[in-house]
Amino acid sequence: MRFDDPVSKYVEGIPNGDNITISELLKMRSGLYNYTSAPELGESLDHDPARVWTPRELLAIAFKRPTIFAPGKQYDYCNTNYVLLGLIAEKIQGAPLAKIFESRLFELLGMKHTLLPANTSNTIPEPYSHGYLYGSSSYALVDAPYPADLQAAARAGTLQPNDDTWQNPSYAFAAGGAISTADDLAIWMRMLVGGKLFDADYQRQWLESLEPQDPSKPLGQKYGYGISQIIFGSNSVYFHGGEMPGYNSFMGYDPVNDVTLIIWTSLTISLDGKPTANTIMLKMLDQIYTVSPLR
């Protein structure tokens, strides 16, 4: 599989599919509608949290809506891209994505406590933390700010957060449905960024794929083939985050200084509307590095 292969040869039904490449999917430049932004998904999670979703059902949410820009022309983080990539992997390998992850990634790297659960499973291996979110699941799915009345009620103690621990994660699929531990994620980031997972050619392509998310800020945060980069002086931190109703996460690695940072939080969005793990990450990295883009 090449990064420039057209996606439509693997998956049917994509609007303007002939013009979308795997490279554009990986770099979030497909222009496809992000299915997790759809109101009906948030409503379903609120009223039927145990529902089992198939990848095709998730794609149907996206495909019934128009694309938001022409492929390759802009940047927009899009979970639809990851669902497509998961199906492409299954098509090429002839196996379920959970088996592919286990044999090609988790087992190879010694990540003994990491899995992509069956789509019918609502359970989490013990020990685990309960995950919470104020109000509807939609606030986590689209990072929408809390309305003033919700913030006031939560601060006054008259509104408690929902316990979203038992939502069925099948709606995340390849976009972030895996379960792991902090130790395993530290292994993952060190092996991935340190060049222990890809061969030299793919590692070069992976690192060279990074582009500014905002073209007007060439020194700002970059995104490439499923990885972000933030620069603190001469130091680069390669990272990714993840969230679902109840949880927020950050995992990053600085290969030059051998700094690994894993942050998990059990409240997705704080009352001031910010992703909790990402907020902690910025504050911690601002203390670790002398030269910071945040000052």
pLDDT at 68: 94
Going by the DSSP 8-state scheme, the letter that residue 6 receives in this structure is B
| Beta strands 259-265; 247-254: pairing state | antiparallel
Would you identify the CATH topology of the domain 182-295?
Beta-lactamase (3.40.710)
pLDDT in tens, 88-104: 999 999 999 999 999 99
Q: CA quadruple 232, 237, 240, 246: dihedral positive or negative?
A: negative
| pTM score | 0.93
pLDDT above 90 covers a percentage of the chain that reads 81
Question: What is the sign, positive or negative, of the torsion defined by CA atoms of 28, 33, 39, 41?
Answer: negative
Q: Is the pLDDT of residue 150 over 90?
A: yes
Q: What is the DSSP string of 169-212?
A: GGGTGGGT--B--HHHHHHHHHHHHTTSSS-HHHHHHHHHT-EE
Domain covering 1-116+134-179 in this structure, CATH number: 3.40.710.10
The segment(s) of the chain belonging to CATH 3.40.710.10 are 1-116+134-179, 182-295
Task: Convert the pLDDT of each residue in 175-233 to its tens digit.
Answer: 999 999 999 999 999 999 999 999 999 999 999 999 999 988 888 899 999 999 998 88
Residues 249-289: pLDDT tens digits?
A: 999 999 999 999 999 999 999 999 899 999 999 889 888 88
Decide: 267 and 162 in contact? Cβ < 8 Å: no
Instruction: Quote the radius of gyration of the chain (alpha carbons, Å).
Output: 19
Average per-residue pLDDT in the chain?
93
